[in-house]
Structure 1
Amino acid sequence: MTQSALPLDTGHAQDLDLAALARLLRGAWLPILLTASALSTAAYFYADARPDVYRTSAGLAALPATSGNALISNSLVTAPALPPQVVDRALRSPEVTEAAFKALEDKGLDPAQRQAVVDAVQAEWRSGQYQTVTLSANVDQNLVGSYEVTAQAGSPEAAQATANAFARALLEWDRQRALNGVERAYSNLTTRLDVLDGAPVVGGEAVDSATANQMRSEVVQSLQQVEVLRETVSGTLSLIAGAVLPNEPVAPKPLRDALLVFGATVFAGLLLALARDRLVKRVQDTESLRSLGLPILGLLPPVNLRRSDPAGISSFLRHGSFREGLEFVRLGVTTALDDLSGSATPRAPLIAISSADMDEGKSVITSGLAATFALRGMRVLVVDADIFRHRQRQLLAPEGQPLQIIPLDDTELWVSVQYQTDLLNLRRGHLNPEALLQSIEGLRQNYDIVLIDTPPILKVADTLALARRVDGLVLVAAVGMPQAQVERVVAETSRLGIRPLGLILNRYRGGGITDPYGYGPSPALTLEQGGNYGHARN
C-alpha cells in the first residue's frame, strides 16, 4: 500500500490555534465555574461570620525644619525634618507605643477593647506585618507635607482612641526630639557663661572687665530666651485633625470577598487548564502521525473565511492551496481503493470520512472532496450522517435556491445541491448503520462514488459499526488535537478489523502548504456552486 500520496514536510505549526483554545475553554468552564461558585460561597459565609473592623485616621503636618529663631539656628541645635521611613520607624518604637498604650488606659477605653489593640500591636511587632496602626506620608522633597496615622479596631470608639493616642504619642516624641536640641543650646550657653565668670580670653589676650560684663549680659539674655523655648518647642510635626468616629465598618465585606474569590478562582482555573493543556502531546506535523502506521493522504492548510465570503464550500475552494491539497487527498483515496481491490471498484465505493473528535474539519473535507471528484466528471453522493451537526446542507445547499427533495424511508435525497452532486440527509436524530446502508444501496448505482460524513468516532460508537461495512475509512486529524485521541481511534479500528485508507492532516501550516501559483476560483465551481456558510473554518 502506498504510504504517502504527496511529498511531506516536517515543519511545525507555530500559530495560535483559536479553535483549539475555544475547545479547551468549552471543556473547562463547567468545573471552573462550579469550583469558583463553591469557594466564593464559602468565602461569603466566612467573611460574614467575622467580627466588624472599624478604621479612622488622624492627620499630622510636617513643617519646615528651620525653627525661625536665630538663637537656636546659630547654636546648631535645630531639630531636622525626618524622612517618612524614619517617622514610620519612630511610630513603632517602644517609647511611642508605650505612651500610646498609657493614653488608651487614661482615656477609659473598655479594658477588653484596649487589650485587643495592645495584643494586636504586639503581635505585629513580632511578625513585622502592620495593620492595626499604620502611617502614610505625602511629603515633598523638602520633607514638608502631611502624614496620616490610621488605626483599626473592633469598635468605632477603640479605632478613634487608638488613632488619636498614637498620633499624640508621635507628636510628643517629635517634641522631645526638638527639646533635646534646646537642651543642647542651653548647655552650650551655660558653658560660655562659666567661661565668662572666670578670666575670659579672646585671641590669646585677656578681656577687660567691661567687655566681659557685656558678653556675660548677652549670654544671660540668650539663656532667658532658651528657657522660654523649653516651654514652647513643638518639633517639625503638628496635629492637623484628630481622628473622627467611624460610622461604617471597613471589614468584613462578604459580597466583595466572594466576588474577589470567584474572579481569582476563575483566573487560576483558566491558567491551570492552559498549563495542563500545554502538557498534552498534540498532533503537530506528519512526524506525529507516522508512528500510527497509516498512509498520510494529504496535508490541508487552515482556511479562515471572512464574513463577506458569500459561498459555502466554494469559498474554501477559492483558496488554491486548500484545493490543491484536496487533489492530493483525492489521488490518495483512489490509489488506496485500487490497492485494496486490486482493480477499479465495479460499484460506487462507499467512503466514510470521520475524525476522533468534533471540530477537526471532516465535514468541510467531505464536501471539498465531493467537489474535486465532481469536477472530474464523477457523479457524487454525499451522505450527511453526522447526527450532531448536519453541516453538509450548509456547505452544499445554497440558501434560497429551490431544491428537489425526494423523501425516502428514514432519509431524504436533495438533488443537485452542487455540480454533479446530490445530498442524502437523515430524517431522524440517531444513526442506524443498517437502515442507512440500505438507503444508500438503493441509490448506489446512480453514482460513481459515495462520501459519508460520519459523527466523530469517539462521540458515537455506531460510527465504527458503519465503518466496518464500507469500502474505506478516511480519518481526519487536525493540528493541535490530542495525539492520544488519534491513537485511540486507530487502536479501536484495528481492534474491530477496520483498516483505514489513511490519514488527512488538517490545518497544517508547514513548508510547501502555500499558494505559490496564485490560484483563482474555479469557473465550474463559481457557476455551479453557491450557498452561504458564514465565516466558517475548515
Structure 2
Amino acid sequence: MLNTQPGDEIEFAALWAGLRRQRHWILLTALGLGLAVFLWFSAQPPVYEATSSLSTTAVVSLATVRETVVTALPVPDGALQDALQGPVVMGRLIALVQGAAGLPATRRAALTAHLQREFQQQRVRTVQLESRIDPGGNGIYLLTAQGRSPGEAVILNDLAAQALLEWDLARASAGLLDTQRRVTAQLAEVSRQLGRADLSVTDQQALLASQGSLRRIQTQLGVQALGIRGFLERVAPPTPPQEPVSPRPLRDALLVGVLGLVFGTGLAALRTVADRSVRDEDTLLALGWPVLGTVPADQRGQGGIGFVRVNLGAQLGRWAGHPILVTSSRESEGADQLTLSMAAELASTGLRVLIIEAGPRSAALSPTAGRLASASWRQLCGVGGARILWEALDDPGNVQALELQPGVDLLPSGSDSDDVPGRLGRHRQAAALGDLFARWGAGHDLVLISGPALLTDADSLMLGAHVAGAVVAVREGRFRFKLVQQALRRAENAGVHVLGLVLTKPPAGTWIPGLRAAAGSMRQGL
C-alpha cells in the first residue's frame, strides 16, 4: 500500500505556494540589503566630478625644417589614456597637486597619497580620459577628475589637463630640439675648421658658405621653436559640478533591494524545487493512505477538523467505543493537539470521548497542578482509585478521569519523570491494554489514545496492536517525505492498521514561520 516517492514534477502552483511561504524572508532580505547599502553609502563622503574637453586635429609633420610651425604627431586611439596613467603624466600631476595653492594642505597630502596608490596599483580612477575620436583622427577627449568638493574637482581637472598638455608639447618639441643640437654641433665644427691656418682659399669659401647655410637653418629652427604646439588643445575649462556623482544612497539602495528581491526569489524557488517535505494533501496522497483532512495545529473545532470526523466515521462505520491511536512520525507534529481537537469535535455532535494520554506528557493535554486540585473527576470503573495512567495500570479496577469539558474526559499520563521510551511495552499489563481500554471506555462512544511518535518510541507500535486503527498526524513542512514514509513503513510492518493521515498546519498566529516554535515556547513559559 505504501508508495515509494511523490512525483518529481514541479508544478507552477506548488512553486508559487513555496514562494508565498517564504515571501517574508524574501522581502526581509531585500529590505535588509537595501537598508544596509543606504546606511553605508550615506556615511560615505560625497564625490564630485568635473569634466573638460581636449580637442585634436590630425596634421602631417614635414620632414624638413622649412616650415614655421611644428605640430606633434597624433597618437593612436588608446595611447593617450595609457599616457595619462604613465609615469610622466602622473608624476607631473602629483607634483602639481603637491604645489596647488587652491587646496588645503590636508587635502593636498591626501590626494597625493591617493594618486600615488592608484598609480602603483595601475588603477587610476580619480582622473580618467574618454576618447571620442573619429577614424580620421579628429574629435575630442573628455577629461574627468573627481574630488571631495566641487572646487577640488575643478582644480584637479585643471592640473590633469595641464600635465597632459605639457606632455604633448614636450613630445612635439623633442624632435626640434634634437635638430637644433645637431645644427649647433655642425656650426661648432665649421668654426673650428675655419680657424685652421693651412686652409686654401677654395676650402675657406666652401666652409664659409656652409657656415652661412647652417646659421640660416639655426635661425629658422629658432623661429619654429616659437611656434611649437601639441596636437591637443583645451576647448573650455571645467564647470564646477552642482551635485555629487556618488554616493547615491537612495538609488543604490533601490538597486540593491531589487537585486536582493530577485536573488531571494531565485533562492526561494530553488529551495522550493529541492524541498521534499510534506506541504499539502497531494503529497500525503502519494503515500497511499487516505487523507482524513487538514487542520490547524493549535485550533480545535475549526475548519478541517469536521472533515476528519466525517472521514474517520466513514472508516470505522460506527462509533462503538473503538480505541483509536493518534500518533505521528516524530514529536512536535501536533498529534496531542489533534487528539484534543478531534475529541472536542466529536463531543460537539453529542458523543462521549475518553482521551488516554499514553505518550510523553503534553502541554496541550496534561492539566496543571492547580487545575487538578479543582477539577471534576468522573469514575471510569470501581470506586475512587487512580487518576493517572501509570497508577491505573497498577490498579485497573479503580480508575477516574478528568472532565476536560462536557463529553470529553482525560486520563493523563503523569509527571515528566514517567516519560521513558518503551516503558509501557515493558509493563506487566502491556498484553492486556486492549481489554483495559475497552473497560475504561465502556461509558464512552470513542477512546482516543494519544501515543508516542512512531520513530522515537516502540510503544506506539505496541499500542497499535491493541486499537482499532491509528490516525497519523503529519506536520506541514516540518519533516521530509521520506521520514514520514519510514514511519508508515514501520507501522505497516508491525501490523498497525492506519486509518488515515491528517495534515496539521503550524500555528497561524505567528507571521514568520521560523518564529512559531519560539513563540509557542514563550507562551508556555508565561
TM-score when normalising by structure 2: 0.53
Match of 1:46 in 2: 40
Structure 1's 181 and 489: CA in aligned 2 closer, same or farther, altered over 3 A? same
Query: Is 1:229 paired with 2:103?
Result: no
Match of 1:350 in 2: none
Query: Is 1:150 paired with 2:144?
Result: yes
2:52 to 36, 53, 58: 58
1:174 to 168, 172, 186: 168
Contact 1:66-1:80 within 8 A present in 2 as well:
yes
Task: Write out per-residue CA displacement over residues 249-284 of structure 1, whole angstroms, 9 at most, x where no aligned residue.
Answer: 112211012112212323333444455567x485xx
Query: Is 1:242 paired with 2:237?
Result: yes
> What amino acid maps onto 2:255 in structure 1?
L
Match of 2:376 in 1: none
Structure 1's 470 and 31: CA in aligned 2 closer, same or farther, altered over 3 A? farther
What pairs with 1:443-522 in structure 2 (closer than 5 Å)? 461=335, 462=338, 485-493=480-488, 498-499=496-497
Query: How far does residue 236 in structure 1 lie from its aligned partner after superposition?
Result: 1.9
Contact 1:493-1:499 within 8 A present in 2 as well:
no
Residues of 2 paired with 1:130 and 1:94: CA distance?
Answer: 12
What pairs with 1:402-413 in structure 2 (closer than 5 Å)? none
Query: How far does residue 474 in structure 1 lie from its aligned partner after superposition?
Result: 12
1:83 to 73, 76, 83: 76
Over aligned residues, Cα RMSD in angstroms? 5.1
Residues of 2 paired with 1:168 and 1:356: CA distance?
Answer: 72
Residues of 2 paired with 1:493 and 1:266: CA distance?
Answer: 40
Residues of 2 paired with 1:143 and 1:15: CA distance?
Answer: 61
Task: Write out per-residue CA displacement over residues 416-441 of structure 1, whole angstroms, 9 at most, x where no aligned residue.
Answer: xxxxxxxxxxx952405774358658
Match of 1:96 in 2: 89
Query: Is 1:123 paired with 2:117?
Result: yes
> What amino acid maps onto 2:215 in structure 1?
V
Contact 1:281-1:484 within 8 A present in 2 as well:
no
Query: How far does residue 246 in structure 1 lie from its aligned partner after superposition?
Result: 1.0
Match of 2:215 in 1: 220
Contact 1:196-1:215 within 8 A present in 2 as well:
yes
Residues of 1 paired with 2:94 and 2:52: CA distance?
Answer: 16
Contact 1:66-1:73 within 8 A present in 2 as well:
no
SS of the aligned residue for 1:252 comes to coil
Structure 1's 438 and 148: CA in aligned 2 closer, same or farther, altered over 3 A? closer
Match of 2:20 in 1: 26
1:71 to 56, 64, 69: 64
Residues of 2 paired with 1:26 and 1:84: CA distance?
Answer: 54
Asked which structure has the greater RCO (Cα within 8 Å, sep 6+), the reply is 1
Task: Write out per-residue CA displacement over residues 177-231 of structure 1, whole angstroms, 9 at most, x where no aligned residue.
Answer: 11111112223444555676659xxxxxx99877776665554333222212222
Structure 1's 429 and 82: CA in aligned 2 closer, same or farther, altered over 3 A? same
Structure 1's 229 and 359: CA in aligned 2 closer, same or farther, altered over 3 A? farther
Query: How far does residue 43 in structure 1 lie from its aligned partner after superposition?
Result: 1.9
Residues of 2 paired with 1:33 and 1:207: CA distance?
Answer: 101
1:357 to 276, 279, 284: 279
SS of the aligned residue for 1:61 comes to strand
Residues of 2 paired with 1:73 and 1:14: CA distance?
Answer: 87
Residues of 2 paired with 1:231 and 1:501: CA distance?
Answer: 107
* Greater Cα radius of gyration, structure 1 or 2: 2
Unpaired runs of 5+ residues, structure 2, are 195-200, 319-329, 343-447, 449-463, 502-526
Structure 1's 91 and 435: CA in aligned 2 closer, same or farther, altered over 3 A? closer
SS of the aligned residue for 1:130 comes to coil
Residues of 2 paired with 1:496 and 1:13: CA distance?
Answer: 23
Structure 1's 72 and 21: CA in aligned 2 closer, same or farther, altered over 3 A? farther
Residues of 2 paired with 1:55 and 1:119: CA distance?
Answer: 19
Contact 1:72-1:78 within 8 A present in 2 as well:
no
Task: Write out per-residue CA displacement over residues 53-84 of structure 1, whole angstroms, 9 at most, x where no aligned residue.
Answer: 111122212332524x563499xx97432235
Query: How far does residue 111 in structure 1 lie from its aligned partner after superposition?
Result: 2.0
Query: Is 1:431 paired with 2:305?
Result: yes
Residues of 2 paired with 1:207 and 1:501: CA distance?
Answer: 135
TM-score when normalising by structure 1: 0.52
What pairs with 1:133-532 in structure 2 (closer than 5 Å)? 133-141=127-135, 143-191=137-185, 193=187, 217-273=212-268, 280=274, 356-358=278-280, 360=282, 385-386=293-294, 428-432=302-306, 435-436=309-310, 440=314, 461=335, 462=338, 485-493=480-488, 498-499=496-497
Contact 1:357-1:459 within 8 A present in 2 as well:
no
Query: Which deviates the most, 485-494 or 149-158?
Result: 485-494
Contact 2:71-2:229 within 8 A present in 1 as well:
no
Structure 1's 14 and 207: CA in aligned 2 closer, same or farther, altered over 3 A? farther
Structure 1's 434 and 55: CA in aligned 2 closer, same or farther, altered over 3 A? closer
Identity across the alignment (%): 28
